[in-house]
Structure 1
Amino acid sequence: MTEGEVDAASRVAAAEFLWAQPPGRKPGPKPKYTLDGIAEAAIAIADESGLDEVTMQRVADRLGTTKMALYRYVPGRAELDAVMLDTGLGAPVVVDEEHWRTALTMWADGVHVRALAHPWIVELVQRPHTPGPGELAWFEAGLGAMAALPLRGGEKLDLLTLLVGHVMSLVRQRASAGAPEQQLAASLAAILVTRAERYPRTASAFAEAGDDGALDDALRFGVDRVLAGVAALVAERAGSSPSRS
Structure 2
Amino acid sequence: MPAPTTLELLWGSPDRPRRGPKPSLTLERIVAEAIDLADAEGLANLSMARLAERLGCAKMALYRYLPGKTELIALMLDTALGVPPENTTAPSDSDPEPWRTYLRPWTETFFTRVVAHPWGHEAATGVRPMGPNELAWLDSAVGALHGTGLTAAECFDTVVLLAGHARSVAQQTATAGEDLEGGLARELGAVLSAQAERFPHAAAAFAETMSGTAAETGRDNALAFGIDRILDGLAALIATRV
Change (3 A) 1:171 1:26: farther
The question of whether the paired residues in 2 share the 8 Å contact of 1:122 and 1:171 is answered with no
Tell me how far 1:47 sits from its aligned partner: 0.6
Report the equivalent of 1:154: 153
Which residue of structure 2 aligns with residue 185 of structure 1?
Answer: 185
Q: Is the 8 A contact 1:15 1:82 kept in 2?
A: no
Partner SS for 1:31: coil
2:236 maps to which residue?
Answer: 232
2:83 alignment partner, one of 71, 81, 91: 91
Going from structure 1 to structure 2, the CA distance change for 1:103 and 1:38 (only over 3 Å counts) comes to: same
Q: How far did residue 191 of structure 1 move? A: 4.1
Query: Where do residues 1-245 of structure 1 align in structure 2 (5 Å cutoff)?
Result: 13-21=5-13, 30-98=22-90, 99-178=98-177, 179-210=179-210, 211-213=212-214, 214-238=218-242
Q: Greater helix share, 1 or 2?
A: 1
SS at match of 2:64: coil
TM-superposed CA distance for 1:137, in Å, is 1.1
Partners in 2 of 1:27 and 1:148 — Cα distance?
49
Distance (whole Å) between structure 1 residues aligned to residue 173 and residue 209 of structure 2:
18
Q: How far apart in 1 are the matches of 2:141 and 2:192? A: 43
Counterpart of 2:58, as a letter, is: T
Letter in 1 for 2:120: I
> 2:54, 2:126 → 1: CA distance?
26
Deviation at 1:58, TM superposition (A): 0.9
Q: Could you tell me how far apart the structure 2 residues matched to 1:71 and 1:94 are?
A: 36
152-161 vs 139-148, which moves further: 139-148
Return closer, same or farther for 1:231/1:82 CA change in 2, 3 Å cut-off: same
Question: Does 205-214 or 118-127 show the bigger shift?
Answer: 205-214
Q: Which moved more, 1:131-140 or 1:24-33?
A: 24-33
> Closer, same or farther in 2 for the Cα pair 1:177/1:232, shift >3 Å?
same
Compared CA separation, residues 134 and 198, structure 1 to 2 (3 A): same
Q: Partner amino acid for 1:174?
A: T
TM-score (norm 2): 0.85
State the distance in 2 between where 1:186 and 1:224 align.
26
RMSD: 2.4
SS of 2:87's equivalent?
A: coil
- Determine the C-alpha separation between the residues in 2 that align with 1:107 and 1:26: 40
2-side partners of 1:116 and 1:100: how far apart? 24
Q: What's the offset of the Cα at 1:118?
A: 0.5
Alpha-carbon distance between aligned partners in 2 of 1:192 and 1:126, rounded to the nearest angstrom: 35
Give the share of equivalent positions with the same residue, in percent.
45
**Hey, what's the Cα distance between the residues in 2 that align with 1:129 and 1:172?**
20
Match of 2:93 in 1: none
TM-score (norm 1): 0.84
Residues 100 and 146 of structure 1 are in contact (CA less than 8 Å); yes or no, is this contact kept in structure 2? Answer: yes
Kindly provide the CA deviation profile for residues 216-240 of structure 1, in whole angstroms up to 9, marking residues without a partner as x.
32211221111111111110111xx
Q: 1:194 & 1:76 partners in 2: Cα distance?
A: 53
> What is the Cα deviation at residue 26 of structure 1?
8.5
Instruction: Assess if the C-alpha contact under 8 Å between 2:150 and 2:241 holds in 1.
Output: no
What is the letter of the counterpart of residue 140 of structure 2? A
For the residues of structure 2 that align with 1:25 and 1:204, how far apart are their CA atoms? 67
Q: Which segments of 5 or more consecutive residues in structure 1 lack a partner in the other structure?
A: 1-11, 239-245
Hey, what's the Cα distance between the residues in 2 that align with 1:127 and 1:26?
34
Q: SS in structure 2 opposite 1:93? A: coil
| CA distance in structure 1 between the aligned counterparts of 2:160 and 2:186, rounded to whole angstroms | 33
Q: After superposition, give the CA deviation of every residue in 1:111-167 in whole Å (9 maximum; x if it has no partner).
A: 100000001112222232111011111112112211221112221111111111111
Matches of 2:17 and 2:169, distance apart in 1: 40
One-letter amino acid of the counterpart of residue 143, structure 1:
V
Distance in 1 (alpha carbons) for counterparts of 2:235 and 2:17: 48
